[in-house]
Structure 1
Amino acid sequence: MSAGTRQRATHLGDFTVGPRMLLICAWALPVGGAGALAALFLQRLIALVTNLVFYQRWNTASVAPGLHHHPWWLVLSAPVAGGLVVGLMARFGSEKIRGHGMPEAIEAILTGGSRLAPKVALLKPVSAAISIGTGGPFGAEGPIIMTGGAIGSMLAQLLRLSADERKTLLVSGAAAGMAATFNSPMAAVLLAVELLLFEWRPRSFVPVVGAVAVATVARGGLMGTGPVFPVPTTGLHLSGTVTAAAAVVGLTGGLLAVVATWLVYRAEDTFARLPFHWMWWPAIGGAVIGAGGLVEPRALGVGYDVIDQLLTGRATTSLIIGILVVKTLIWSLSLGSGTSGGVLAPVFMIGGALGAWEGMLLPQAMPGFWAMTGLAAVVGGVLRSPLTGAIFTLELTHAWPTALPLLIASTVAYALSTLVLKRSILTEKIARRGLHLTREYSTDPLETFFAQEVMQREPYVLTAGRTPESTLLATLRGEAATGRGQRLLPVVARDGSLTGVTTRRALLADTADRVQAARVVVRPDDTLRHVAQLFAEHHVTSAPVLGHAPDERVLGVISLRDLLHARRHDHAEDQHRQRLIPRPTAVPDPT
């Protein structure tokens, strides 16, 4: 067996993937438990700050800022003070706490080797609790993604792991925090796959599910096992008209998602032009929040109580319109200031208000049905994650029979958002930092072709013992005859077995070590993806293709340019249009 063959056998016989996956899964389980504790800590901290600021009492029971009347000066000044504190924490603590958390987590995964600083795990929930507890119209999910991710990242940095393994633990912590916050294990896993992992492979999917499972079980003991917003489905009537109308709600939800996303980044552009340091921007955003709170106090804070009223059909018309207008404006404009807070809970409320408002004109299916449909649509459009939008809504409400209209609404909103906007609210910020990001998943075309289909057949092969002059002349004559140059030349013994390789450059230089051992050999049934992986691992651009034992003769040579065949085929399937069934021709009249 040649040296190249032995290397390939070692590569194919490496069974470390399975044990490594199990090892990472074992570490992901305690990360899931820690994510659940972090979610509980953040919720209690938000409630404590809210009680202290708006009710002047020391209590960790969940409460909304606008449930009772507050002095106008408190409604106006509390968000400003909270924004000022967040700005100071970001300036002198860590700038990573700015924003809603998801883009920062994505950026850490793509460019930072999945490393998050330990102080982020502490500063992010504290800053979010201050921002939300003082009236900020944000959610806890973005901060918990950063906090849970930081927990997983810190553990990974203590271990000897690769960047991909660190990513898996970071995402495990983030998804665990999401699952514990909303009691939504499936939506948390989908969110991880659609937004954070950038792959669907066993090595990452299995540990993330393990962490989410632990977090969900722990959440049951800490915060209960029921849905966050239970919606009874008794009396549900889903007709064809109702299902079709879900597409209409999807269109309006997608339009609202586009407007809200546009407002967020127009606000960010406006703040960026201010002639003073960004540390002061959250305080200005707080002034916007306070002004909106004077118009509609229920728009302040996380607003879980309002979401519950919307989804159960108990919201009044004035509350629906007030939330739809005021919440959308103060959330999008203040989020552009760089304060700390998440996007999901506000999107839940805005989407629910949109659906409830449209439900006044649409056929009735059950109380709260159209609010649920609007919620799924706006989530799908804002995050550009249609499956997450539908499954999130189902897990929040446990209204499982409504799955089809929710999926339709979420997908229609997703389609509209992708047609109108280049990027989502998550990827726009990353793109502005100079990082290209695609969220489209498809089969790798390199997986659909084998080496024998694209290799250069009947290559010129040098026989050991021939003189360099005659070898070079034969090579050049062959190139002239075929019009194609062959840079890599296999060298074989008289019995046809591979002894090494050389190149045209080495022959022309006539160096003593012009023939070297083949670092890589390829088999005819290797996929092009495997070939590309071998090229990347061994830093080569071409390799001989050998038949299987016992007749391991040279069948061809494959190079990087041959790998482009798969891309050309993929491009042709995407762009080349043809009619396969011809149009019927008129039958001539026999008369």
Structure 2
Amino acid sequence: MQTRLVTFLDHLNNYRKSKISNRNFLVVVSILVGIMAGLAAALLKTLTHHIEHFLQNDLHWQYKYYLYFLFPGIGIFLSVLYVRKFIRKGKFETGLTPLLYTISKKSSNVEPHNSYSQIITAALTVGFGGSTGLEAPIVTSGASIGSTLGRYLGLSYREITMLLACGAAAGIAGAFNSPVAGIVFAIEILLPEFTIPAFIPLLLSAATASVVAQVFYKEQLFYLVTQGWEMKALLFYVLLAVLIGLYSIYFGKANHLVKGLFYKIKNPYRKVMVGGIGLGVLVFLFPTLYGEGYLTIKELLMGNYNTVVSNSIFADYGNFPIVIILFTVATIFAKSFATLFTLGAGGNGGIFAPSLIIGGLIGFIMAYTINLSGLAQVNTANFIVAGMAAALGSIMHAPLTGIFLIAEITGGYILMVPLMITTALAYLINRSVNKYSIYTKPLAEKGELSHYEDKDTTVLNMIKLKYLVQREGLTLNIDESITDKISDMVAAKQSVFAVLNAEDELMGLVFLNDALNAMFSADGKENEKQISVKKLLNKPEVVLNAETDLKKVLNQMDISGYNNLPVVDEGNKFMGFVAKSQIFNKYRALLARMADYMS
């Protein structure tokens, strides 16, 4: 069956190359990716909300409300159990950081199981009350669909990356019914360089996904009723941006702290227990943390300001403004830890939704406090919307995504100026402290981040050292004699020889000049003594690992002065030499391919 599929795809590929240009073919495939990603988004939202509805409304048991303390932990446990039992051949990772790493280091090869495993684990996590969002899983699922389809069709790295971005854009478009935000997200977060030809496949993929998702899932996320914004509120929008910018810095530090704590716990089920208990306590104290949390924002936009306190142990005091203010502030900080506990414990989700909820609550509490104080009367709904955009843009370092996403899902295009001001200022405040976003910082710290500002690194990251290693030349054994091998060494036309032991491990290097000097005296007479390889052995200044970044390889070559360096695998087994000329030849070939991309 698999052989027939491969044969069919080969015939299809050969036919389309002769009949259709790359540009037109990618347009067709991008629509197909949009359809599949739209279906995936609709499936994820439907499955998640069915689980939520069953637990909250259809499950009838006298003591079921006591289980709300345990439900989030149960969802995380089921997610972890699924991964450990059903994903054995591949690697399962959550969030957008692994996706960026895949683009940078793994030739955009997203493992196929992500197209469905992300949906299953995210639905279990969020459906049972995990305090995170569905957006990162659907982005990864859509990216997997695009990447897998591109590989099956035999496309190049750049074309596969394009389809990966189309799938991610389609995932956002399908999840939020926001095709423009999906396109902006793909350009701002995933694509190292944006080119005009890339816009058309992204547009078609996102638009198609939005239409398909709407057919199967029609529920509107938010409704916003506003009559615009007033000039006198401009100063308060600036103040809101400052607050959210500062909070986004705090969120990044909290993320680093909580991740570090969970990283120290090696047993996955112990992580589930610790995170589940912590999350259960937070949900018990702050019921609005259950699940994505969008319902709270919906109620606040409609003017139901005591919804933050309702169903909590302080519900009887919901008519007291000071209680609403203090409880909302506490909820903002609790939401951060609830999200990080969910992800740290092994649950699947992202920080899209938490960012929106946190920003919306900060906007609400600021407007609510201003109105109570009598300093001015501002539109609370407008500040909620502006807060959501600012939080998303600053935490993710994606201000355009924040602006267009919120404008689309709330219909708040009339608020474009406040959205632009708050999001830009909050982003600049965060960027002044954090050069990298919450997604890219882990990669940057390891030197694994490709960026459009450093084109050399971006291109070099596409090249794998192990594919440039050559081992056609002569090697020497540690127990051999130079006297017996000198004629072979001269004939080999090499200047340096790897010396190996019986296990093929690299012991050192022997240089041809040293061997010739040892064999012949100053007057040209041959030395009659046997000269062992071991006597002329040199310890190499630099030994490369097969997984070493090529940028580091070139730096090592410049520092050492050698244009050929030995390469070994993880077991110190000799693989061969890599030459600087090979790296540059491959580099130039990739630049030529990129110049012809989509022509």
Aligned to 1:51: 53
Matches within 5 A, 1:96-495: 96-99=91-94, 101-224=95-218, 228-234=221-227, 236-239=228-231, 241-274=232-265, 276-316=266-306, 317=324, 320-362=328-370, 363-431=376-444, 434-438=447-451
Report deviation, 1:290: 0.6
Whole-angstrom CA distance in 2 between matches of 1:389 and 1:87: 31
Task: Identify which range, 324-333 or 106-115, moves more after superposition.
Answer: 324-333
Whole-angstrom CA distance in 1 between matches of 2:184 and 2:261: 34
2:38 to 36, 44, 67: 36
Deviations for 1:425-476, whole angstroms, at most 9, x for unmatched residues?
Answer: 111233355413446599x9xxxxxxxxxxxxxxxxxxxxxxxxxxxxxxxx
SS of corresponding position for 2:21: helix
The answer to whether 1:88 aligns with 2:81 is yes
Give the 3 Å change call, closer, same or farther, for CA 406–535 of structure 1 in structure 2: closer
Whole-angstrom CA distance in 2 between matches of 1:326 and 1:295: 9
Deviations for 1:91-114, whole angstroms, at most 9, x for unmatched residues?
Answer: 344475443x31122122111111
Whole-angstrom CA distance in 2 between matches of 1:199 and 1:401: 31
Give the 3 Å change call, closer, same or farther, for CA 69–538 of structure 1 in structure 2: closer
Give the 3 Å change call, closer, same or farther, for CA 305–538 of structure 1 in structure 2: closer
Deviations for 1:499-531, whole angstroms, at most 9, x for unmatched residues?
Answer: xxxxxxxxxxxxxxxxxxxxxxxxxxxxxxxxx
Whole-angstrom CA distance in 2 between matches of 1:306 and 1:189: 28
Q: Is the 8 A contact 2:82 2:121 kept in 1?
A: yes
Aligned to 2:567: none
Q: Is the 8 A contact 1:105 1:145 kept in 2?
A: no
Give the aligned residue type for 2:356. F
Report deviation, 1:333: 3.4
Q: Is the 8 A contact 2:104 2:449 kept in 1?
A: no
Q: Is the 8 A contact 1:153 1:167 kept in 2?
A: yes
Aligned to 1:537: 589
SS of corresponding position for 2:101: helix
Deviations for 1:131-167, whole angstroms, at most 9, x for unmatched residues?
Answer: 1111101111111001111111121121010011111
Task: Identify which range, 369-378 or 316-325, moves more after superposition.
Answer: 316-325
Q: Is the 8 A contact 1:264 1:333 kept in 2?
A: no
Whole-angstrom CA distance in 2 between matches of 1:251 and 1:159: 48
Aligned length: 425
Give the aligned residue type for 2:75. G
Give the 3 Å change call, closer, same or farther, for CA 439–389 of structure 1 in structure 2: farther
Whole-angstrom CA distance in 2 between matches of 1:81 and 1:534: 50
Whole-angstrom CA distance in 2 between matches of 1:118 and 1:535: 29
Aligned to 2:539: none
Q: Is the 8 A contact 1:184 1:396 kept in 2?
A: yes
Aligned to 1:563: none
SS of corresponding position for 1:324: helix
SS of corresponding position for 1:38: helix
SS of corresponding position for 2:251: helix
Report deviation, 1:346: 1.3
Q: Is the 8 A contact 2:244 2:359 kept in 1?
A: yes
Give the aligned residue type for 1:44. T
Give the aligned residue type for 1:171. A
Give the 3 Å change call, closer, same or farther, for CA 194–102 of structure 1 in structure 2: same
Report deviation, 1:47: 1.4
Whole-angstrom CA distance in 2 between matches of 1:254 and 1:373: 13
Report deviation, 1:46: 0.6
Whole-angstrom CA distance in 1 between matches of 2:398 and 2:62: 38
Q: Is the 8 A contact 1:312 1:367 kept in 2?
A: no
Report deviation, 1:323: 3.1
Give the aligned residue type for 1:537. A
Whole-angstrom CA distance in 1 between matches of 2:407 and 2:394: 17
SS of corresponding position for 2:52: helix
Report deviation, 1:357: 0.5
Give the 3 Å change call, closer, same or farther, for CA 397–364 of structure 1 in structure 2: farther
Report deviation, 1:222: 2.7
Give the aligned residue type for 2:185. L
Q: Cα RMSD (Å) of the superposition?
A: 3.1
Whole-angstrom CA distance in 2 between matches of 1:143 and 1:270: 23
Aligned to 1:549: none
Unaligned runs of 5+ in 1: 1-14, 59-67, 445-531, 541-591
Whole-angstrom CA distance in 2 between matches of 1:345 and 1:312: 19
Give the aligned residue type for 2:285. V
Give the aligned residue type for 1:179. A
Whole-angstrom CA distance in 1 between matches of 2:191 and 2:160: 11
Report deviation, 1:422: 3.3
Q: Is the 8 A contact 1:172 1:207 kept in 2?
A: yes
Report deviation, 1:309: 2.0
Q: Is the 8 A contact 2:368 2:380 kept in 1?
A: no
The answer to whether 1:75 aligns with 2:71 is no
Give the 3 Å change call, closer, same or farther, for CA 24–279 of structure 1 in structure 2: farther
